Amino acid sequence: MKAVSIKQPGEAEQMEIQERDKPIPKVGELLVEVRTAALNRTDIVTRSNPNLSEPYPILGVEIAGVVVENRGNGEKYKTGTRVAGLVNQGGYAEYAILPANRAILLPESMSFEQGAAIPEVFLTAYQTLYWLGELKTAETVLIHAGASGVGTAAIQMAKHLTQARVIVTAGSAEKLAVCQTLGADKTINYKEENFAEEVLDYTDQAGVDVILDFIGASYWENNLKSIKKDGRWVLIGTLGGATVKEVDLSALLAKRVTLKGTLLTPRSDEYKAKLTQEFVKVVLPYFKRETIHPIIDTTFQLEEVVQAHQYMEDNKNIGKIILKVRA
């Protein structure tokens, strides 16, 4: 089968389509004929990891497609079923292995492009908003990088699942407009405004209950100012650097902040299965009713994978970047 791997660890240009063996599912797994895969920043990390040795892995952690082999998972996943889900690796390929307990049955109304745009960002947003951030009905949440994949998923769920007051930051008027369309109550252009001042002003100095923080070091001080007493601050990325100078622990104590670091990709299979199952139960009905939508920026052909990665690295996308693996 065709599959995307690398010549050697490095830049996007190191990726190429190679001929690989079709994977063989074990009991509990589905073999999926992949129609679409979606890009994730973790694919860049994998692609550039200098510690990799040959044979290099097939890239990609989420797919949508059709079940072609079902190793003992019952009628629900019979051959021909349309599914999406998180795979451990090997997503950018004609076939991939999806554990059945992580499969999301795609509603009839959704395309494979939309399907591949769901798992990573919606599961991450769900996990961080609800499992880690413990966002409750009508609380206030600050979502940084509002126009990112996780951001667009988080805005929609926070609004529709818990009627939260949603404040977002992003770096362009276009991105902020999209956030507003998705339901954000207050949008802040971090390039033009001090977001902590805006947050405190908007919340009558109270601050926010939950922060989804992809940025890390460069936002540390302003996040600390923006968070309410007993707030939950979920750290899911360090796009703004990982090293904070001069951290004042007494502020964390006085505000009784809960700071949780997390990454979805390295979680256990069991964790991902449990998360997927709760997500399917709680959120899939909103997709069926078309209240919540996967947000897609651009679809590339598998052959354009290098350009697709470069596009992701340019940071200009609003929503997901999809690879079309086959027609």
Could you say whether residue 256 binds its own copies (CB under 8 A)? yes
Cα gap 60→86, rounded to integer Å: 9
Could you say whether residue 154 binds its own copies (CB under 8 A)? no
Could you say whether residue 252 binds its own copies (CB under 8 A)? yes
CA distance to 43, 133, 139, 176, per residue, from 316 (Å): 17, 27, 30, 13
Stretch that binds its own copies, among 122-130, 172-180, 229-237, 318-326 (CB under 8 A): 229-237
Cβ nearer to its own copies, comparing 221 with 304? 221
Could you say whether residue 237 binds its own copies (CB under 8 A)? yes
Stretch that binds its own copies, among 43-51, 161-169, 183-191, 231-239 (CB under 8 A): 231-239
Among 17, 52, 68, 217, binds its own copies (CB under 8 A): 217
Could you say whether residue 44 binds its own copies (CB under 8 A)? no
Stretch that binds its own copies, among 25-33, 118-126, 150-158, 259-267 (CB under 8 A): 259-267
Cβ 44 to its own copies, closest distance in Å?
A: 15
Could you say whether residue 45 binds its own copies (CB under 8 A)? no
Helix H or strand E segment including 29: strand 29-38
Could you say whether residue 27 binds its own copies (CB under 8 A)? no
Q: Are 192 and 173 in contact (CB under 8 A)?
A: no
Residue 229 neighbours by CB distance under 10 Å:
11
Binders of its own copies among 105-144, rule CB under 8 A?
none
Could you say whether residue 247 binds its own copies (CB under 8 A)? yes
All residues at 6 or more sequence positions from 295 whose CB lies less than 8 Å from its CB, including other chains: 117, 149, 152, 153, 178, 182, 318, 319, 320
Cβ 240 to its own copies, closest distance in Å?
A: 10
Among 16, 248, 270, 290, binds its own copies (CB under 8 A): 248
Among 104, 161, 257, 321, binds its own copies (CB under 8 A): 257
Stretch that binds its own copies, among 160-168, 260-268, 298-306, 318-326 (CB under 8 A): 260-268
Cβ nearer to its own copies, comparing 205 with 268? 268
Closest CA to 273 of 136, 99, 114, 132: 99
Cα gap 271→315, rounded to integer Å: 29
Cβ nearer to its own copies, comparing 44 with 68? 44
Cα gap 274→302, rounded to integer Å: 31
Q: Are 233 and 247 in contact (CB under 8 A)?
A: no
Q: Are 141 and 119 in contact (CB under 8 A)?
A: no
Cis check for the bond before 55: say yes or no (omega within 30 of 0): yes
Cα gap 322→115, rounded to integer Å: 10
Cα gap 6→4, rounded to integer Å: 7
Could you say whether residue 149 binds its own copies (CB under 8 A)? no
Q: Report angle CA 300, 290, 39 to the nearest 5 degrees.
A: 25
Among 44, 66, 68, 259, binds its own copies (CB under 8 A): 259
Could you say whether residue 51 binds its own copies (CB under 8 A)? no
Could you say whether residue 216 binds its own copies (CB under 8 A)? yes
Query: By three-state DSSP, how is residue 292 classified?
Result: coil
Stretch that binds its own copies, among 48-56, 67-75, 191-199, 234-242 (CB under 8 A): 234-242
Helix H or strand E segment including 233: strand 227-235
Residues contributing to the site for its own copies (CB under 8 A): 216-217, 235-238, 242-250, 252-263, 266
